[in-house]
């Protein structure tokens, strides 16, 4: 049932209060005690980019996490690697997988169907490939390349020049994606690790949709998605939800209007953000001053979902030049939406950058302002701990699939020059 919202926000809080609330909700204020799947459901879904940052994102919320812990959770289907919002690949708790797969299908199906029509692939051909794929995978998981070779000759054809124009060389990838949307296939880990964009396809022991209650109406699915998002990162604006989810502003607002939310004015962020009714008291009582230290992954959700890290950084540092994720154009700390550098948190605030130094085998960090001696010592101990994790359990510090250790070394050198 739609809620009628007052003309003016019912609650007004300072940016410091909002930061404290976000920080706690993101699981960064104190060491996590729940399971991996409980932590991801409560805080946020990390993206998988083919590098180590998926581990770093979860480890920031569950200090002491081992690589094996996260890998085993995927192998056991307690969490799954799936396409989610914007077609991006995220790690999602199993209980939320049915909804998220339906959302991903909502966003991709029309485009994919249109592409198949352009290249002359009928649905009957995709269904035939799907049946052949499932037959082959009954013998065990395979990569896409291995699966292509294992299929009977003639099952998958080249799409030639038509396919090149839309970026699809054969009907196999879309056939796999359709099976994934239906819950008939799932991704598991190639070589048992998450720091890659190569996956094995397998038939799930049980469909994620068995017993799941996913709304049949797309608008209702958007409401469910909005509720998860607001619970994890509220107070948050409709615009920021739309940017994260790839929904239109109209659909995003329609979803919010069906939620039990309260409008909130957050000084320095938005005149109208929203938080769940059940969280209003905790938001109003939130107090800054957390004592935790965190070394975050690149593209950590704490930095990105409210429009970039600027809200978390002292304005006197907003003019500092930085590199943007996915762009060769430079930006500043106050303007950047997606920051390439890995960040150091002192309490709720971003106070500097950190990186792994491959030549020294150590973690290095630098802060915008000097830290008190005891705090600096604690940050160095954390850097040493994270570096040991990267060195001994992962063997590298590449951030994404096209990253290199040479680039990591360059970023470490920039941190040391600060």
Whether 370 and 251 share a structural domain: no
Whether 54 and 73 share a structural domain: yes
Whether 141 and 233 share a structural domain: no
CB 23, CB 280: distance < 8 Å: no
Condensed to tens digits (0 to 9), the pLDDT of residues 127-176 reads 999 999 999 999 999 999 999 999 999 999 999 998 888 889 999 999 99
Q: What angle do CA 206, 211, 217 make, to 5 degrees?
A: 115
Whether 269 and 132 share a structural domain: no
- DSSP class of 12: E
pLDDT at residue 6, as a whole number: 43
Report the alpha-carbon distance of residue 109 to residue 106 in Å, rounded.
Answer: 6
Domain encompassing residue 160: 36-202
Whether 179 and 89 share a structural domain: yes
Whether 16 and 109 share a structural domain: no
Report the alpha-carbon distance of residue 377 to residue 133 in Å, rounded.
Answer: 55
Last residue in a domain, options 170, 202, 234: 202
Nearest to 99 by CA among 229, 249, 291, 281: 229
Nearest to 301 by CA among 93, 14, 42, 118: 42
Condensed to tens digits (0 to 9), the pLDDT of residues 228-257 reads 999 999 999 999 999 999 999 999 999 999
Sign of the Cα pseudo-torsion (69, 199, 354, 44, in order): negative
Is residue 2 in a domain? no
Condensed to tens digits (0 to 9), the pLDDT of residues 287-329 reads 999 999 999 999 999 999 999 999 999 999 999 999 998 888 9
Is residue 209 in a domain? no
Whether 114 and 221 share a structural domain: no
Is residue 207 in a domain? no
Whether 308 and 379 share a structural domain: yes
Tens place of pLDDT for every residue, the chain, 418 residues? 445 444 456 799 999 999 999 999 999 999 888 999 999 999 999 999 999 999 999 999 999 999 999 999 999 999 999 999 998 999 999 999 999 999 999 999 999 999 999 999 999 999 999 999 999 999 999 999 999 999 999 999 999 998 888 889 999 999 999 999 999 999 999 989 999 989 999 999 999 999 999 999 999 999 999 999 999 999 999 999 999 999 999 999 999 999 999 999 999 999 999 999 999 999 999 999 999 999 999 999 999 999 999 999 999 999 999 999 888 899 999 999 999 999 999 999 999 999 999 999 999 999 999 999 999 999 999 999 999 999 999 999 999 999 999 999 999 999 999 8
Whether 194 and 225 share a structural domain: no
Number of domains in the chain: 3
Last residue in a domain, options 141, 169, 202: 202
Rounded to two decimals, what is the model's pTM? 0.94
pLDDT at residue 165, as a whole number: 87
Whether 311 and 342 share a structural domain: yes
Whether 72 and 166 share a structural domain: yes
pLDDT at residue 184, as a whole number: 97
Last residue in a domain, options 227, 260, 285: 285
pLDDT at residue 31, as a whole number: 84
């Amino acid at each position: 049932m739609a809620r009628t919202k007052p003309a003016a926000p019912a609650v007004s809080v300072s940016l410091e209060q909002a930061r404290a609330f976000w920080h706690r909700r993101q699981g960064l204020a104190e060491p996590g005690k729940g399971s991996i799947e409980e932590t991801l459901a409560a805080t946020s879904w990390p993206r998988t980019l083919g590098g180590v940052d998926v581990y770093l994102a979860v480890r920031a919320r569950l200090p002491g996490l081992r690589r094996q812990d996260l890998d085993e959770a995927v192998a056991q289907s307690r969490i799954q690697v799936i396409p989610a919002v914007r077609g991006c690949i995220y790690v999602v708790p199993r209980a939320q997988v049915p909804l998220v797969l339906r959302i991903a299908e909502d966003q991709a199906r029309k485009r994919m169907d249109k592409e198949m029509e352009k290249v002359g692939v009928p649905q009957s051909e995709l269904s035939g490939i799907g049946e052949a794929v499932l037959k082959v995978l009954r013998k065990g998981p395979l990569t896409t390349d291995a699966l292509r070779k294992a299929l009977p000759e003639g099952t998958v054809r080249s799409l030639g020049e038509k396919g090149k124009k839309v970026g699809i060389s054969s009907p196999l990838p879309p056939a796999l994606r359709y099976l994934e949307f239906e819950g008939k296939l799932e991704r598991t880990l190639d070589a048992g690790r998450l720091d890659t964009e190569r996956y094995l396809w397998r038939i799930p022991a049980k469909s994620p949709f068995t017993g799941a209650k996913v709304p049949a109406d797309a608008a209702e699915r958007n409401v469910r998605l909005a509720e998860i998002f607001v619970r994890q990162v509220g107070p948050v604006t409709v615009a920021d939800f739309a940017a994260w989810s790839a929904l239109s502003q109209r659909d995003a607002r329609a979803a919010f209007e069906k939620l039990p939310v309260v409008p909130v004015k957050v000084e320095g962020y938005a005149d109208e953000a929203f938080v769940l009714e059940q969280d209003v008291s905790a938001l109003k009582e939130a107090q800054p001053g957390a004592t935790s230290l965190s070394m975050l992954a690149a593209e950590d959700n704490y930095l990105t979902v409210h429009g970039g890290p600027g809200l978390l950084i002292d304005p006197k540092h907003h003019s500092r030049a930085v590199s943007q994720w996915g762009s060769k154009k430079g930006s500043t700390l106050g303007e950047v939406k997606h920051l390439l550098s890995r960040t150091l948190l002192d309490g709720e605030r971003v106070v500097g950058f950190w990186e792994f130094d491959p030549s020294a085998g150590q973690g290095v960090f630098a802060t915008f302002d000097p830290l008190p001696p005891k705090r600096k010592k604690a940050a160095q101990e954390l850097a040493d701990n994270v570096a040991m994790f990267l060195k001994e359990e992962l063997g590298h510090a590449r951030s994404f699939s096209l990253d290199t250790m040479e680039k990591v070394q360059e970023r470490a050198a920039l941190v040391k020059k600060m």
